[in-house]
Amino acid sequence: MVAALILAGGRASRLGGLDKPLLMLDGGTLLDSVLRRVRPQVGPVALSANGDPARFARFGLPVLADPRAGLGPLGGLLAGLRWAAASGETALLTVPGDTPFIPEDLASRLAPPPSVAAGEGGVHHLVACWDVGCAAALEAYLTGGGRRVSAFGETCGARRVVFAGAPDPFFNVNTPADLAWARATVRGVG
């Protein structure tokens, strides 16, 4: 079975440092929107976030901290791969916590791993499916100073899977204008 890791640890500098997944959208949070789409597709789900995990307590999910500081999203991926392997899963789907329109067939279309999603906005290296066995390769990549998700995906031989649709299924909220657009879109006026 495939586990899922929702990456909720970005700095959100263009939104004043707020936890983007906790921003309100469609009567809930961005994270609620992501979970509604991800949960039916996978087995266990966890969050990748540093800092106080209590801010995500209402979701009832494991909150995984990076194994060490300064690794960026690959630190979250490493923690997620370790967690998924310990849970007995063979693959890990990763999705940013600020992408409310991800496809409802994402996991099946990205199978088998490794693979990354591509759409109108280009390649989305954090919307991906990873074999849990690539944790050792990721540790070596990080130890060697690597920090680019795209380069690590290439190291693993990740193939690109093209998705189309409107709204952009991988649209992510980075600015107040993005959040306003997402809100208008879910109300049917975007």
Q: Are the C-beta atoms of residues 123 and 154 closer than 8 Å to each other?
A: no
**How does DSSP assign 92-134, residue by residue?**
EEEEETT-TT--TTHHHHHPSSSEEEEETTEEEEEEEEEEGGG
- Is residue 96 very low, low, confident or very high in pLDDT (cuts 50, 70, 90)? very high
What's the first-to-final CA gap in the chain, in angstroms?
Answer: 36
- For 2-186, CATH number? 3.90.550.10
Instruction: Please provide the average confidence, as pLDDT, over all residues in the chain.
Output: 92
- pLDDT(190) > 80: no
> What's the whole-model pTM score?
0.94
List the single range of 90-99, 130-139, 165-174 with lowest mean pLDDT.
Answer: 165-174
Render pLDDT for 16-74 as a digit per residue (tens, 0 to 9).
Answer: 567 899 999 989 999 999 999 999 999 999 999 999 999 999 999 999 999 999 999 99
Q: What is the pLDDT of residue 112?
A: 97
The H-or-E segment that residue 46 falls in is strand 45-48
Render pLDDT for 144-171 as a digit per residue (tens, 0 to 9).
Answer: 999 999 999 999 999 999 998 877 899 9
- pLDDT(13) > 80: no
